[in-house]
Copies of this chain bind each other. A is one copy, B any other.
Amino acid sequence: MTADEQNMSSRDRIIAAGAVMLGEDAGARLSVRAVAERAGVSTGSLRHHFPTQRALQDAVLARVYDEVVSDDRIHDRTVPARERLIDCLRLVLTPTVGEQARQAWLTVFRTFLVPEQTDEIRAAYLGMEREGQRRVEYWLSVLVEEGALADGDNTRRARFLCTVLNGLSVERAFPAEESILRSEAETLHTAVDCVLSSPA
């Protein structure tokens, strides 16, 4: 344990340990015991801060996304709202291109597409999904606040955009005609225009 780590609260140490574990293996399931061990805290202490696996997973994912993805872009009003939202959505797609996309999907498949979906596996997957959804909802809420998007059901809008992102992400992993990046841009624009012009 480094001096820095000793100065962190046990809650922070737990989150940092989980983030490191996800960094080593994006498909890792964060078991209470493994994370507690890595963080140098007791499982009792971990359970105190994070009573459920879901709470642990969500906190770790929130930290990972906050560090990896910078979405300050959404606040830059010198750029049209449409382009800002597209840029932010692209952040979600960015890590997954070509061979990397294939590997990333294979990891996700091996981890979550298993015959026996335990509660732990379900919770881990749903935590990831929820965090992605929360992130898109946040971007939409910024646009609503500045008046670039009509007040409305952002949960539903975000779900729609996340489904489009899932589709694009899968398509990046499979064979494609030369024009995939062009068609991807077109689809992103279509989806964003659709949301920006959507009624409440």
Contact = CB atoms under 8 A, between A and B. Distances in A.
Interface of A: 102, 105-106, 109, 112-113, 115, 117, 121-122, 125-126, 129, 156-157, 159-160, 162-168, 170-171, 173-177, 183, 186-187, 190-191, 193-194, 197-198
A60 to B, nearest CB: 18
B198 A126 contact: no
B125 A175 contact: yes
B167 A126 contact: no
Given A156-B186, A191-B194, A175 B122 contact: yes
8 contacts: A121-B175, A157-B190, A160-B186, A160-B187, A163-B168, A163-B187, A167-B170, A190-B198
Query: How many copies of this chain?
Result: 2
- A interface, over-half SS: helix
Contacts of A187: 159-160, 163
A55 to B, nearest CB: 17
Contacts of A125: 174-175
A160 B190 contact: yes
A133 to B, nearest CB: 10
A113 B121 contact: no
A125 B171 CA distance: 11
Contact of A109 (B109, B160, B191, B194): B109
A75 B128 CA distance: 41
A198 to B, nearest CB: 7
Contacts of A157: 190
Given A160-B186, A163-B187, A194-B190, A175 B109 contact: no
Contacts of A197: 197
Contacts of A126: 175-177
Contacts of A190: 156-157, 160, 194, 198
A183 B162 CA distance: 11
